[in-house]
Amino acid sequence: MGENQEKNEPIILCKDVHKWFDDFHALRGISMEVQLREVVVIFGPSGSGKSTFIRTLNRLEEHQRGQIIVDGIELSHDVRNIERIRMETGMVFQQFNLFPHLSVLQNITLAPIWVRKWTKDQAEEVAMQLLERVGIPEQARKFPGQLSGGQQQRVAIARALAMQPKIMLFDEPTSALDPEMIKEVLDVMIELARSGMTMLVVTHEMGFARGVADRMYFFDEGLIVESGSPDDIFNNPREDRTKLFLSQILHH
C-alpha cells in the first residue's frame, strides 16, 4: 500500500466539515479522503478536534457544514442513511463502553442478532471466531467487569468486528489502559490493519503509526495542519507545530 494507492472512489470523503459546540468552533473545515484498505492515523494535542472528527463519521456528533460521504452514502438527517452507515462502520472507544450487564458473548452477538438479523447460533459462532482472533476465547462467558482493561478493549474490538464493518474507527483505544496492556491491544490492531481493514485511528502511539499507517494527519485547533506518509511526518515535517508536538510526545 502506501504510495501506490489505486485512484478509486474513496470509501470516506469529507469536504469542508465544520462543527460548533455552542460558540466553540471545534472543526474548522476538515477535508479528507480515505481509500479502501487504507490505515489512517490522526494525532494532535487534546482539544484539537480529532475525536470530534471521527465521531462525526458515524454521526455520534452532527456536523453543521460541509459534506461527509461514507461508502457512497451521504450523512444527512435521513435516519436510514445514518443507520446504514453505522452498520458499515465499527467503533472502538477510549473507555471501552462494553455493556456491563451482558456477558462477553452477549456483548458481541447483540448487534448481529438484532441489526443483521442473524440467528443466535450463527452470531455465537462468529463471536467465538472473533474472540479467538483477539486471543481471549476462554473469557466468552464472563462479564466485562471481570476482565482486565486490555481484555475489555479486545472484546470491544471483537464486538465492533462482529457487525462485519467495512471501516473501523478507533478513538484513542489505548489511552485508558495500563502501560503493560497497551501492547496486547495494539497487536490486535496491527493484525487487523495487515488483514486489509480500512481503519481511522486517533492515537498517540507513534510506534503503531510508524508500523502500519499509510497516511497520518496532524490536527490542531480544528484544522488539519499537516498530512503525509509516516515517513514524511517523522523524518521531515514541514510545519513548526508538527515538529513541536512530535518532539513533545516522542521525547518525554
Partner 1 sequence: MSDASEILAPPSPPGFYEWLRKNLFSNWFNALLTIFSLVFLYLALVNVIRWMFFTADWRPVTGSPLLFLIGQYPRDQLWRPGLSLLICALLIGMSWGVWERYVKAFAIFLGILLGVLALIPLETPTITLVVRAVFLVCPFLIFGGFWVGRRSGVQGRHVTTLWLIAAIFILLVLLPGLSSIPALPVVPTTAWGGLLVTLLLAIGGIVLSFPIGVLLALGRRSSLPVVKLFSILFIEVVRGVPLVTILFMFSIILTLFMPAESRIDRILRALMAMVFFSAAYTAENVRGGLQAIPEGQVEAAKALGLSGLQITSFIVLPQALRLVIPNIVGQFISLFKDTTLVIIVGINDLLGIGNAVLNLQPDFVRLQMEVYLFITAIFWVFSYFMSYASLELEKALGVGER
The distance of Cα 38 from the centroid of its chain, to the nearest Å, equals 12
Is residue 164 at the binding interface for partner 1, with CB under 8 A as the rule? no
Q: Which member of 83, 178, 180, 239 binds partner 1 (CB under 8 A)?
A: 83
Exposed, middle or buried: residue 3 (CB in 10 Å: 0-12, 13-18, 19+)?
A: exposed
The answer to whether 1 contacts partner 1 (rule: CB under 8 A) is no
Of 162, 156, 69, 31, whose CA–CA distance to 104 is shortest? 156
Can you tell me the distance from the alpha carbon of 224 to that of 219, in angstroms, rounded to the nearest whole number?
5
Least separation in angstroms between residue 241's CB and partner 1 is: 30
Listed ranges 16-24, 56-64, 176-184, 195-203: which one lies at the site for partner 1 (CB under 8 A): 56-64
Name the nearest CA neighbour of 19 among 31, 28, 6: 28
Contact 190, 212 (CB under 8 A): yes
Q: Which stretch binds partner 1 (CB under 8 A): 107-115, 186-194, 208-216, 230-238?
A: 107-115
d(CA 251, CA 206): 12
C-alpha 234/C-alpha 214 separation (Å) is 13
- Residue 11 CB, shortest distance to partner 1, in Å, is 17
User: Binders of partner 1: how many residues, by CB under 8 A?
Assistant: 31
Contact pick of 95, 129, 247, 248 for partner 1 (by CB under 8 A)? 95
The C-alpha R_g of the chain, in whole angstroms, comes to 18
- Any idea what DSSP says for residue 182? H
Give the largest Cα separation in the chain, rounded: 55
Among 69, 73, 110, 176, binds partner 1 (CB under 8 A): 110
86 contacts partner 1 (rule: CB under 8 A):
yes
For position 97 contacting partner 1 by CB under 8 A, the verdict is yes
Among 89, 139, 153, 198, binds partner 1 (CB under 8 A): 89
Examine residue 111 and tell whether it contacts partner 1 (CB under 8 A).
yes
Residues of the shown chain interacting with partner 1 in the complex, contacts defined by CB under 8 A: 58-60, 83, 86-87, 89-91, 93, 95, 97-101, 103, 110-111, 114-115, 142-146, 156, 159-160, 163, 169
